[in-house]
Structure 1
Amino acid sequence: MTRLRAPFGRWEPASLSEVVARFSGLECRWWVAGGLAIELAVGHRIRSHGDIDVLLLRRDQREAQQALAGWQWWAADPPGSLRRWASDEVLPPGVHDIWCRPGLADPWRIQIMLDESHAQEWVSRRDPRVRRPISALGMTTAEGVPFLAPDVQLYYKAKAPRPKDEEDFDAALPVLTDQQRQWLVDAISMTYGAHPWSRRLEA
């Protein structure tokens, strides 16, 4: 099995317009995720980005190969290494991170994240108690670009916040609705326990 060990090579993230062009024809739901999702929620640029993330539900994972037909797909399995993802392979539940590039000599362009679901509910891969309807998992820009709701994205960033995660939280906090704040407080408390973000969300 072909496998790569960190560091995996350079990134040249695809533009948002390229991501939209490649994924908008899919029949399944997809969302821009990561720091760019926070920027889409806020409505302006916050910081530079080393990659671009696209979220799919695990049950729709093969759609990623359709969107990026002809590319190379590498699964983080286990974390800390990458292995080739075969076109006929269904990735197991523990694998949720896929790096994609047009060819072997090309930089990485798009990162696919897989999340869990049950029927019509999204289920957090961090804590199966944290759920919400798939129909409410994301939002859409005026131009029709789907992106992960900021409270859900911040929930994932809350596990071990890096400086860029703190920057994203600071930028998103003023635009969160009361309902989003409460959902995030409850989800953080359930999964991570006491957290400094919770006090700011409740202020």
Structure 2
Amino acid sequence: MPTDPPPPPSPEPAAVAHLPPAAFDRWYGGWDPLTPSTIAEFMDGFDRPWWITGGWSVEAFTGVSRPHEDMDVSILASDAEAFRLFLGDRWTPWNVDDSWFRPFDDRFPEVRPDSQLWIRRDAQSPWVLDVPLTPDTRGRWTNKRNPEHTEDLDDVTWVAPDGLRYARAEVALMFKAAQAREKDRWDAAVCLPMLSEESRAWLRGAVAAMDPSHAWLSSL
């Protein structure tokens, strides 16, 4: 009896993320990301919580624009299967983890709660959406950098004037502090002076818990 061909070998996602753009496009395909003006239509009908993270969430708070390489939308990890069913046959999600880069489908239905999903229509189409999963503890947002830190989702997100839900700026900066790429440092430089003292205290505590010697602490 014929069997399905084995899946292609899975590259290390860390290596994927650090490939030069031309090399990335050659091996994995390019990006044509959604934006805040198109994401609502894409997510229409998904009845679980979702919110915009990353650079777009910082921009929604500051009003200061910059180029964006992708669109990051997070969902609770416990809703990953519901999201896969929502995408149906219209889109093909891939799971990006520390040890694999593989289809998120009936063959591989399990995903780690702190991994992410990349979405495209098919192998000939560009990626349109990056979905970093957010671990949850009994439905509460859980900090993937510090699993003991949990909060109600409404306390770490906000609804902007455009009607979309975004990660609060201090939450986005906490995750950016873990990588501190050039764009992350730029976002921090623009955003930090605009944060309230309460937000700065939250960020200071979160970054200190992650790395007590982090360079950003001196700015907080």
The two structures share one fold, judged by TM-score above 0.5: yes
Is this contact kept in 2: 1:54–1:113, CA < 8 A? yes
Of residues 66-75 and 98-107 in structure 1, the stretch that sits farther from structure 2 once superposed is 66-75
Any gaps of 5 or more consecutive residues in structure 1?
none
2:180 to 142, 147, 161: 161
- Counterparts of residues 165-180 of structure 1 (less than 5 Å): 165-180=184-199
2:48 to 28, 47, 68: 28
Is this contact kept in 2: 1:75–1:95, CA < 8 A? no
Determine whether 1:73 maps to 2:96.
Answer: no
Q: How many residues align?
A: 199
**Deviation of 1:149 (Å):** 0.8
**Deviation of 1:35 (Å):** 0.7
Aligned partner of residue 111 in structure 2, secondary structure: coil
The structure with the larger Rg is: 2
Aligned partner of residue 74 in structure 2, secondary structure: strand
**Deviation of 1:34 (Å):** 1.1
Aligned partner of residue 17 in structure 1, secondary structure: coil
When residues 31 and 21 of structure 1 are mapped into structure 2, their CA distance, relative to the original with a 3 A threshold, is: same
When residues 163 and 101 of structure 1 are mapped into structure 2, their CA distance, relative to the original with a 3 A threshold, is: same
Give the structure 2 partner of residue 44 of structure 1.
64
Aligned partner of residue 111 in structure 1, secondary structure: strand
1:39-58 Cα shifts (integer Å, max 9, x gaps):
0111231x211111100010
Task: Please give the TM-score of this superposition, normalised by the length of structure 2.
Answer: 0.82
**Deviation of 1:144 (Å):** 0.9
Give the structure 2 partner of residue 112 of structure 1.
131
Letter in 2 for 1:71: W
Rounded Cα–Cα distance in structure 2 between residues aligned with 1:24 and 1:124: 26
Aligned partner of residue 136 in structure 1, secondary structure: helix
1:163-198 Cα shifts (integer Å, max 9, x gaps):
100001111112212111101101111111122222
Of residues 111-120 and 4-13 in structure 1, the stretch that sits farther from structure 2 once superposed is 4-13
Letter in 2 for 1:150: A
Of residues 23-32 and 162-171 in structure 1, the stretch that sits farther from structure 2 once superposed is 23-32
Of residues 15-24 and 88-97 in structure 1, the stretch that sits farther from structure 2 once superposed is 88-97
- Same amino acid, percent of matched pairs: 25
Letter in 2 for 1:190: A
Rounded Cα–Cα distance in structure 1 between residues aligned with 2:144 and 2:46: 23
Any gaps of 5 or more consecutive residues in structure 2?
1-6, 17-23
Give the structure 1 partner of residue 150 of structure 2.
131
1:97 to 97, 101, 116: 116
Determine whether 1:63 maps to 2:82.
Answer: yes
2:31 to 11, 16, 22: 11
Rounded Cα–Cα distance in structure 1 between residues aligned with 2:10 and 2:192: 38
Aligned partner of residue 16 in structure 1, secondary structure: coil
